[in-house]
Chains A and B, each alone.
Chain A
Amino acid sequence: MSENRIPALEVKHITKRFPGVVANDDVNLTLYKGEILALLGENGAGKSTLMNIIYGLYKPTEGEIYVNGKKAEMHNPKDAIALGIGMVHQHFQLVPVMTVAENIMLGAESVKKNGLLDIKKVAREITELSHRYHLDVDPYATVEDLPVGVQQRVEIIKALYREAEILILDEPTAVLTPQEIEGLFEIMKRLQKQGKSIIFISHKLKEVLYISDRIVVLRNGKVVGETTPAEATQEKLAAMMVGREVILTVDKKPARPGDVVLEVKNLRAKSDLGDEALRGVSFQVREGEILGVAGVQGNGQTELVEVITSLKKAEGGQVIINGEDMTNASPRAITQKGQSSHVPEDRHAYGMVATYSVADNLVLNTYNLPPFAKGITVNRPAIIEHAEKLIQEFDVRTPSPHTMAGSLSGGNQQKMVVAREFSRPIKLLIAAQPTRGIDVGSIEFIHNQIVAKRDEGVAVLLVSSELDEIMSLSDRIAVMYKGEIIDIVPREEATRENIGLLMAGVKRGEKVSVTG
C-alpha cells in the first residue's frame, strides 16, 4: 500500500478561528501517496473546515500546508486545483440544469480556435476518463435528471478531469443507498490502485474500518488520535470520536405488544411525480412494539409516512389510528386527536422552522394549547420554561432557548425535533430516518429514546434506509419494495442476508437470480 510512504499532503499546525469558535486547533495531518486516509469525527468536529482550508475555500488563521513537500500558498480553489487537489463536496457542486460535460469543463473549458466551446472534445475526454476509472456516465445527460450516485461520479470525474492527484471526499456516503456506497468503494479502490491519494471523511464507523488504510480522529477541532483498521474496533473509534464510552448496540427487553394503535389497510398513493408510490400497503402496529420499515430509498417509504401523517393525500385505502378512521384527516387532527408524533425524514422542510428560535420550534405543534396559549396570545414565560426543560432533558447543545434553530448543528437540530415530538403524551410515534446525517453520540441517545417510548407502551413505526438501525431497534421488520410491503419478518428470524434479499425484491423461498 504505502510502504514507501511519500507524503502527498502535509497539514502543519493549522488553526482556524471563526468569531467565537475555534474550528481547527493546531491540526497536524499527513496524507501519504496512494493511501486512503479516513478523517473521522462528529458533526462540528472541524472536518469540513479543515478540508475547505486544504481546498483554498477558507484561509487558515495559523499554520501551513505542504503539497508534495513544497509549501503551498492557497488563496482560492484555483490554487488548490493547480496543485492537484480535487474535492467532492458533501453537497454536490453541480449546476443542475447543465449537462455533465458543461459541469465538468466549467472553469477549465476547452475552446476551439473560433472561440466557441469544444463540447465534443470534452465529451471525448470524459468518456476516456470514465473508461479508465470505470465511472460510467453520459457526457450529454443533464445533471438534474441523474440519480445521486451518478451525480457523485460526475463530481469525481470533475476532479480527475483537472488531473487531481489528491482527492478529498467529504461525507460521500451520506446521500447514497447501500448499493451506491458499494459502488463508490469500488471506485475508491480503483483510484487508489492508479496512485491517487484519498482523504475520506465520514462519521460512519463501519465504512471507515472497511475502506481506509489509516484513520485520523478529530474532536472539537483537534486531532485526538490516529489508528489503523487493523488495530481499531467500532467501539474504540466511537469512544475516540465522542470522548466517552458509547454503547453501539441497543439494549432492549423483549416487546410486549398490546392493542392495535395504527392500522393501514390497502393504502394507495401517488408520488410527487405522479407515479404509483403505494400499491396497496397493509399492516398493523401495536402498543409497545417497534415495526421497522426497511427498503432501498425510493420504494414508497417516504410516501407511506406522508400519507399516514396526512402530508399527502391517500388515493385509496384507510389509515386507522386508535380505532378511528383518520384517512386524509388534517395533520393537526392526526397529531392531536390521533395522539401521534412525527419525526420527519426531511427535518429542514417538515421538522423545524430554521429562522425561529429553539424555544418556538419546541412548541410548533402545541403553541395553540394551554399553557403555551393564553386566549389569543402566547405565554412567553411558559414557552421559555418548557424549552429550558427540554434542552436539558434531551441534551440539545444550544447557547440559549432564543438561539435560531438553523444555526445549530444537524445533530442538535434533530435532538430538538425529537425533544418536541417525544415530550408530548402520545400513543403513536412515526419516526422517519430519525438518525440520518447525525453523529454517533446523538444516534445512541435517539435510539435509547425510541426504545424508552416503546417500553412506555407507545406504538412505533420506524422507517429507515439504514439496515443496522432497523435491525437493532425493530421488533418486526416490514420490507418495502416498489410500493408494496413484500414481507413482514419477526426480528428473531431476520438476518442481514434475508432482509437484504427482500430489499432487492426477492421473496423468501424464491430463487436468487444471478443478475439481481
Chain B
Amino acid sequence: MSSPTRFKKTSLIALAVAMVLIIVGIVVNLLPIPDNSMWRVLFGVSTLNFTLRATIPLALGAMAGILCERTGIINIGIEGMMLAGAFAGFVAKVATNDWPLMASLLVGVAAALVAGAAMGYIHALFSIKFKMDQIISGTFLILLAGGLTSYLFNPDSVAEGKFSPIAIPLLSKIPVIGDIFFNNPPITYAAFIIVIALHIGLFHTKWGLRSRAAGEHPRAADTVGINVNFYRYLNTTLGGMVAGLAGGFLVLEAVGQFQEGMTAGRGFISLAAMIFGNWMPFGALGAATLFGYTQGVQNALLLAGVVNIPRHFISMLPYLVTIIAVAGFVGRVRPPAAEGKVYETEGSSE
C-alpha cells in the first residue's frame, strides 16, 4: 500500500528466496536422506544454522542502512559503525570479565549500541550540519573505525565467555524449525524483532510516515511543519545503534573475541542486501538470508569436501552472489528520492 507495487517486486523476490530455503530445509531434514548426500550438505540443519549466524549481522546492517537512507542520509559507513560496535563491545566485555557473565555481556551490548550511536551521530553531524558529501563522510567513518580499533586493540586481552543459546519453550521442540529458529542466543532474537519493528514503524506509525517523507520529499514535509533534520539526526543515530549491535553480535555472540578488521566487508554486503531488498525491512532480510546462505554453503562445502573445486572458488561464492544480485537488480529498485541531498530552508538558516 505504501509504495507502488511495481517497485516492490525485488523485495518479494528476495523474500521468496528465504522462504524457499526454509521449506526445502524442512523437507530435506524430515526425509530419510543419507548424511553424505549433496542435499544434506546444502540444506542440512547445520548448514542452515550457519546461514542464520551469517545472516544476522547482514540483516542488522541492512536495517541500519534502511533507517538512515529512508530519511535521506546515504550511509556507506555501516562497515565502520559495525566495527566500532564490535570493538566497544569487546572492550566493555574485557573490562567486566570478573562480573557475572550475563551482566558483563549486557554491558558489552550497551557499549556496542553507544559506540554505534556515536558513529551514527557523527555521520549525521557531518552530513547535515557541515553539509559534507555523505559518501565521503561514510568513507571517513570506515577509515576511522578501521584505524582506531587496530591501534587501540591489545591482542593479549581476552573476553571470557559469550552469549549461549536460549531455547524458547514449546517452539524449540518443533522439528527442524525449532532447531534453526528457536534455540538461539539473544541478539539473534533481537534482530528478528528489530526487522518486524522497523517494518511496522516505517509503514504504520507517525514516526515512519514522517521519516519517509523526509527521505522522499523533504520540502513537502517542511511545508506541513515537520522538522526534517530532526528526523534525519534521530534516524541516523538509531541506524548507527543497530549497526553497532551487528558488531556486538560478532564479538559477544558469534566469535567471542575481537579480531582486527573482523567485520570483513559485512557492512558492504549489508548495503547490497538493503538495495536488493528495495529499502524494505523484510526484503532486506530476505536478501541478507540469500547472502548468508551462500556463506553457509561455502562453509558446508569446505567442511564436507564433497566437491572437487579449489577452495578459493568456493570462498568466492558469497561475494559473487552479492555482485550478481546487485548488478542484476539495481535498475529495478528505487531508492528514496531525496537521498544524499542536504535540506536547507531559508527559515532554518536565519
Interface residues of A (CB under 8 A from B): 52, 55-59, 75-78, 81, 87, 89, 93-99, 102-103, 105-109, 111, 115-117, 119, 140, 142, 144-145, 158
Contact among B4, B221, B346 with A57 in the assembled complex (CB-CB below 8 Å): B346
Across the interface, do A106 and B216 meet the contact criterion of CB distance under 8 Å? no
Docked-complex contact A77 and B225, CB < 8 angstroms: yes
CA A111 – CA B208 in complex, angstroms? Answer: 12
Q: Which residue of A lies closest to B4 (CB)?
A: A142
**Given A115-B205, A117-B206 in contact, is the A106-B220 Cβ separation under 8 Å?**
yes
A106 in contact with B224 given A96-B216, A98-B213, A117-B209 (CB within 8 Å): yes
Q: Does B345 contact A (CB under 8 A)?
A: yes
Please, which residues of chain B bring their CB within 8 A of the CB of A58? 346-347
Q: Which residues of B contact A119 (CB under 8 A)?
A: 1
Task: Find out whether the CB atom of A59 lies under 8 angstroms from the CB atom of B225.
Answer: no
Chain A CB within 8 A of B36 CB: no
Residues of B within 8 A of A103 (CB): 220
Cβ of B200 within 8 Å of any chain A Cβ, yes or no, is yes
In whole angstroms, how far apart are the Cα atoms of A72 and B213 in the complex?
Answer: 28
B350 within 8 A of A: yes
Q: Let me know if B123 is at the binding interface, CB within 8 A.
A: no
Within 8 A of A (CB), among B211-264: 212-213, 216-217, 219-226
Contact between B224 and A81, CB atoms less than 8 A apart: yes
Q: Does B337 contact A (CB under 8 A)?
A: yes
A93/B205 contact (C-beta < 8 A), A98-B2, A142-B4 known:
no
Q: Are B226 and A106 in contact (CB under 8 A)?
A: yes
Contact B1 A106 (CB under 8 A): no
For A56, give its contact among B212, B217, B337, B347 (CB under 8 Å). Answer: B347
Residue among B3, B213, B223 facing the most chain A CB atoms (10 A cut-off): B223
Roughly how many angstroms separate A33 CA and B171 CA in the complex, as a whole number?
Answer: 66
Q: Quick one: closest A residue to B214, CB to CB?
A: A95
- B8–chain A nearest beta-carbon distance, Å: 11
Cβ distance B249 to chain A, nearest Cβ, rounded Å: 28
Q: Give CA–CA (A117, B213) in the complex, Å.
A: 15
Per the bound structure, the CA–CA distance linking A413 and B243 in Å amounts to: 47
Between B206, B219, B220, B222, the greatest number of chain A beta carbons within 10 A of the residue's beta carbon is seen for B220
Among residues 158 to 191 in chain B, which have CB atoms less than 8 Å away from a CB atom of chain A? none
A145 nearest in chain B by CB position: B4
**Which residues in A have their C-beta under 8 angstroms from that of B1?**
99, 119, 140
Is B129 interfacial (CB 8 A cutoff)?
no
Given A95-B213, A97-B216, A57 and B223 touching (CB < 8 A)? yes
Chain A residues near B341 (CB, 8 Å)? none
With A59-B347, A144-B4 as known contacts, state yes or no: A77 contacts B224, CB within 8 Å.
Answer: yes
CA–CA, A87 to B225, complex, Å?
A: 12
Known contacts A76-B347, A99-B1, A102-B2, A87 near B223 by CB under 8 Å: yes
- B204 & A117 in contact (Cβ 8 Å cutoff): yes
Residue with the highest number of chain B CB atoms closer than 10 Å, among A56, A77, A119: A77
Is B131 on the interface with A (CB-CB < 8 A)?
Answer: no
Report yes or no: A89 in contact with B337, Cβ–Cβ below 8 A: no
Instruction: Given the known inter-chain contacts A59-B347, A108-B224, please indicate yes or no for A97 contacting B219, CB distance below 8 A.
Output: no
**Residue from A52, A78, A107, A144 with most neighbouring chain B CB atoms (10 Å):** A107
- B residues contacting A by CB (< 8 A) are 1-4, 7, 200, 204-206, 209-210, 212-213, 216-217, 219-226, 334, 337, 345-347, 350
The complex places the Cα of A116 from the Cα of B203 at a distance, in Å, of: 9
Are A93 and B209 within 8 A (Cβ)? no
B347, A93: Cβ atoms closer than 8 Å = no
Nearest-neighbour CB distance to chain B for A122, whole angstroms, equals 11
| 17 interchain pairs, CB-CB under 8 A | A55-B223, A58-B346, A76-B347, A81-B224, A93-B217, A95-B216, A95-B217, A96-B217, A97-B2, A97-B4, A98-B212, A106-B213, A107-B224, A109-B206, A116-B200, A119-B1, A158-B224
Distance between Cα atoms of A109 and B211 in the complex (Å)? 13
B217 to chain A, nearest CB (A): 4
Residues on A with beta carbons closer than 8 Å to the beta carbon of B2: 97-99, 102
Nearest Cβ in chain A — how far from B225, in angstroms? 3
Q: With a CB–CB cut-off of 8 A, which chain A residues contact B217?
A: 93-96
* Chain A residues, Cβ within 8 Å of B4: 97, 142, 144-145
Contact for A107 among B7, B225, B334, B350, CB less than 8 A: B225
In the complex, the chain A residue whose C-beta lies closest to that of B348 is A76
Interchain residue pairs A-B with the least CB separation, the first 5 = A78-B225, A107-B224, A93-B220, A109-B206, A95-B217
Q: Which residues of chain B are near A97, meaning CB under 8 Å?
A: 2-4, 7, 216, 334, 337
Residue of chain B at shortest CB distance from A158: B224
Tell me which residues across on chain B come within 8 A of A87, comparing CB atoms. 223
Cβ contact within 8 Å between B337 and A102: no
Compute how far the CA of A145 lies from the CA of B3 in the bound complex, rounded to whole angstroms: 11
Tell me which of B7, B200, B206, B210 contacts A111 (CB under 8 A). Answer: B206
Q: Which residue of A lies closest to B334 (CB)?
A: A97
A485 CA to B234 CA, complexed, in Å: 56
Contact B347 A75 (CB under 8 A): yes
CA distance A94 to B213 in the complex (A): 9
Q: Inside 8 A of A116's CB, which chain B residues have their CB?
A: 200, 204-205
Other A-B pairs beyond A97-B2, A106-B209, A107-B210, 9, CB < 8 Å: A55-B223, A95-B213, A95-B221, A97-B7, A97-B334, A99-B2, A107-B221, A116-B204, A116-B205
- Give Cα A142–Cα B334 distance, bound, in whole angstroms: 15
Q: Which of A55, A78, A93 is close to B219, meaning CB atoms less than 8 Å apart?
A: A93
Contact B216 A57 (CB under 8 A): no
User: From residue A201, how far is it (CB to closest CB) to chain B in Å?
Assistant: 16
What are the residues of chain B within 8 A of A105 when measuring CB–CB? 209
| Set of chain A residues within 8 Å of B225, measured between Cβ atoms | 76-78, 81, 107
Cα of A145 to Cα of B5 in the assembled complex, Å: 12
Q: How far is the CA of A181 from the CA of B314 in the complex (A)?
A: 64
Query: What separation, in Å, do the CA atoms of A412 and B212 have in the docked complex?
Result: 36
Q: Please, how many angstroms separate the alpha-carbon atoms of A95 and B4 in the complex?
A: 12
Determine if B222 and A77 form an interchain contact, defined as CB atoms under 8 angstroms apart. yes
Contacts of A57 in B (CB 8 A): 222-223, 345-347
Cα–Cα, bound, A102→B200 (Å): 15
Nearest CB of chain B from residue A53's CB, rounded to whole Å: 10
Cα separation A140 to B219 with both chains bound (whole Å): 22
Contacting residues, chain A, for B334 (C-beta < 8 A)? 97
A81 to B224, CA, bound (A): 8
Name the distance in Å between A309's Cβ and chain B's nearest Cβ: 28
Q: Is the CB of B223 within 8 A of A77?
A: yes
Closest residue of chain B to A110 (Cβ to Cβ) is B206
A111 (CB) vs chain B CBs: closest residue: B206
Residue of A nearest to B227 (CB): A76
Q: Hey, which chain B residues are within 8 Å of A76, CB to CB?
A: 225, 347
Q: Give Cα A297–Cα B173 distance, bound, in whole angstroms.
A: 65
Residues on the B chain within 8 Å of A78, using CB: 225
A228 to B337: give the CA distance in the assembly, Å.
44
